[in-house]
Amino acid sequence: MILVAFAAFGQGSSTSGPGPVANEWKFGVALWTFHTVNFPEALAKVDSAGITYIEPNTFQKAGPALNDSSMNQLSIGGIAKLRQLIDQRRLQAESVYIVGDKTVSSWQKQFQIAKQLGAKFVTAEPPLNLWDQIDSLAGLYRMKVAIHEHWKGVSHYWHPDSVLAALKNHPNFGACADLGHWPKSGINPVDALKKLQGHILGVHLKDIAAYNDPGLKDVPVGTGVLDFPAIFQELKRQHFRGPIYVERDAEDKPSNLPSVRQTKNYYYDQLKRLK
């Protein structure tokens, strides 16, 4: 981190192609990839890459027309203007990364923003003491919560077992598989995916240069140590049906856009090779 009917992507199903399950994955961009620019500029970069699906976050600057306020500070009318920008470029926000504070009201506002932007689920790291309330909010808004993990020492959810603990008795919770953060804690992403089978709502697609080094930032997908053929094969085996967002934490100069395009090509090439 869901999902109901999905449009097929790119290649149709065939005996030599990735098959119907992989063709239903929705390739997109987590807008944190373009966190150095404002929301309208980030949308323009996604559009220029020929990608449809996005995961906005509620802490990105909304742009000069909205006084460069962060999205979580906007009124309902301000969020409506951002939704218009998404629609004008024919993009789709499958999910939204939200960050609330220690109050239920802050989380409710974030759910409202995500709903207004058309999201099917939210990605978040909910506080442990608010699990019940956030699960109830998700039910109220008819959305799911894909629990995201940062690395050990930063996030309570760094290990798949912690995510599974949060899922217990919380029917609206699922998992966001951040492929680049697990290795920082020494966790093989394929092993983590297997543990979370049946719960994965969305994937953050990133690569890393080495295991067990939390100080590292990501590298372009396919240039690091992750075994992506095995990762995609595992997702296919699980009959995963959801969005896969390329996400960059690193800040390439002049922009992360070239690496997004590179990742798009790599991703579709890997799908062709799936058995």
Write out the E strands in the chain: 26-30, 53-55, 92-93, 95-97, 121-124, 144-147, 173-178, 200-205, 243-246
Quote the DSSP letter at residue 30: E
The whole-model pTM stands at 0.92
Nearest to 273 by CA among 241, 227, 216, 218: 227
Encode pLDDT of 41-77 as tens digits.
999 999 999 999 999 999 999 999 999 999 999 999 9
Encode pLDDT of 135-192 as tens digits.
999 999 999 999 999 999 999 999 999 999 999 999 999 999 999 999 999 999 999 9
Q: What angle do CA 22, 26, 27 make, to 5 degrees?
A: 100
Strand, helix or coil for residue 142 = coil
